[in-house]
Amino acid sequence: MADTSLAVSPFSPTFVRELTPAAEKIALLYYLSYLCLGKFSKLERTIRTRAVETQTLFTYSDATMTKCVLTSDNLVNTLFPLLVKTVEKNKPTMAVKFLGKAQVWITDIITDVREIVKRYDAHNIDLATAASDVYQEKEETDKNIAKQDQELKGIKDALDSMKKLLDDKTKELAETEKKIISKSQEIQELVRSITQESKGLGVVAAIVPFIGQIIKSIYDAAKSPEQVAKLKALEAELKILSDEKSDLKHKQWQVQLQIIDQQMKAAKASFDRSSIPDPIYLPEVQKSLTIIRDILGELLNFWLKVRDLLVSLEQKTFAGEDFLDEFDTFKDEFIDSIQKATEAWSSFAASCRSASVIFQLQNKDAYRFLEVSPSSLSKEQWQIQYTSVKEKLQKIDPTRNYTSPAIPATAIPATATPAISA
């Protein structure tokens, strides 16, 4: 049988909820940087260059997500049906062959995801350099400015206070996250002990590395009321912690909005005095890019885990000596497991498809502001755009359950990874 100890992964098909606000925030922060620094031609070119690099990065990210969709679809439409046939025909060697070919797909995706993660790391370094260049230019320009006016000093005092408040909220959030991880591990340990008692559930746990998709089956497999009660209690505790985390993230975002508002005021005060404002938004762009990079890093670890699970399934189930001996009792459970796995992987493919569309839409529409130089705007036009971006930022809520954007018919190509042939 497959080793169910490998069947736990923190990655979830709901990752798109984190991706959407991060991608939207990046474009708006670039827009603010462009407005506040675009008055200076050298810095305008710097912002434009980095924004275009981000667009290119999103194009590669879209392609990577598309490949995840195609491979997930191939698991559902090709591999799983073939595995069912091998069980029905009692041909474990054929199953091993199919699993080996599937591992080639997974290895190919691992290479692509690892490469895109490297691109995000390199791009963040470029952004850090861009921020440094702005500071250097600012230092040279500000040599002729003797003092800050009282309004700017008051803004900075308020900003320091809000940053301290943000640090406090961030620490609270980190502590809650630790509790969630700890509670999740308790659930995983309990689930692992339950799945080890069921061969069929052991197989589906090996094929589906996210517990939420098979939780009903886990309850059905529990051997005692004590197991069910304990699992429900742990889930309830995890729900409380998750709600607490959501509330803290909302409060953290509200403080961030206040900080951004104060930063806008400081930037405008400097702008009106013909001084180069601090590149305050570029580090924020880096933070949002890091969120996307970390999501892709989790995706990389997820596919590495899937590859290990397929190897385990191949070696410890179909290649095991007990396959033929236990075939009669194994057959129905295995087919039922494949059906559950199909539903879970279809959900994962849908999330990857939504993520692909997010990258497409951001790449297509969100950077049109680059078509107009801020230096060509009148003071009134500049203020209108500035206010508009601020309002859009305020509408972003990282705790909101974003619905998937409409998926164009041409968003995902019809062709898929070459199917496995018998």
pTM: 0.69
Nearest-angstrom CA–CA distance, 127 and 129:
5
SS (H, E, C) 183-209: HHHHHHHHHHHHHCCCHHHHHHHHHCC
Q: Is 145 helix (H, G, I), strand (E, B) or coil?
A: coil
Nearest-angstrom CA–CA distance, 260 and 302:
34
How is residue 266 written in tokens?
Answer: 């400081």
Burial class (CB in 10 A: 0-12, 13-18, 19+), 328: exposed
Q: Which of 42, 57, 54 is nearest to 282 (CA)?
A: 54
Torsion of CA 307, 298, 70, 286, to 10 degrees: -150
Nearest-angstrom CA–CA distance, 35 and 385:
8
Nearest-angstrom CA–CA distance, 195 and 136:
59
Per-residue tens of pLDDT for the chain, all 422 residues: 433 333 334 456 667 778 888 888 999 999 988 888 877 778 888 888 989 999 999 999 999 999 999 998 988 898 889 888 888 887 777 878 888 888 899 999 999 999 999 999 998 888 888 888 777 777 776 665 655 566 777 888 888 888 888 898 889 989 998 998 888 788 777 777 776 666 555 665 555 566 665 666 666 666 678 777 887 888 788 789 888 888 888 888 888 888 888 888 777 766 666 566 667 688 888 888 888 898 888 888 888 888 888 877 776 666 555 555 565 666 777 788 888 888 888 888 888 898 888 888 887 778 888 888 888 889 899 999 989 998 998 888 776 654 444 333 333 333 344 444 44
Fold classified for 12-139+150-395: Hemolysin E; Chain: A; (1.20.1170)
